[in-house]
């Protein structure tokens, strides 16, 4: 069972991979950092015996994507659950 749901707001609490792939809007794009907030936009199921991956998007005040990256559950904490 997944700990988070799509559209939950989460905080990055640790970064387990130094070479994490991420995408974003060219003018504001940067790698994820600890304490960044983002929204879970997709949950990618893990293979049998493996945990799910959470695809998270962080946007700036103008709605531009700062980063879009995948995380494990251990790297995130729930800030606001979707009802």
pLDDT digits (tens, 9 = 90+) for 42-73: 998 877 767 789 999 999 999 999 999 999 99
Domain, as residue range, for 16: 9-80
The tally of domains found in the chain comes to: 1
Q: Going by DSSP bridges, is the β-strand pair 9-12/53-59 parallel, antiparallel, or unpaired?
A: unpaired
- Residue 37, H or E segment: strand 37-44
Residue 1 lies inside a defined structural domain of this protein: no
CB-CB contact of 37 with 9 (8 Å): yes
Residue 2: per-residue pLDDT: 56
Q: pTM of the predicted model, to two decimals?
A: 0.90
In a domain, 2, yes or no: no
């Amino acid at each position: 069972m997944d700990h988070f749901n799509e559209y939950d707001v989460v905080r990055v609490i640790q970064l387990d991979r130094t070479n994490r792939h991420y995408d974003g809007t060219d003018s504001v794009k940067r790698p994820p950092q600890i304490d960044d907030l983002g929204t879970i936009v997709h949950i990618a199921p893990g293979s049998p015996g493996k945990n799910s991956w959470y695809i998270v998007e962080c946007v700036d005040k103008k709605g531009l994507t700062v980063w879009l990256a995948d995380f494990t559950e251990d790297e995130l904490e729930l800030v606001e659950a979707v009802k």
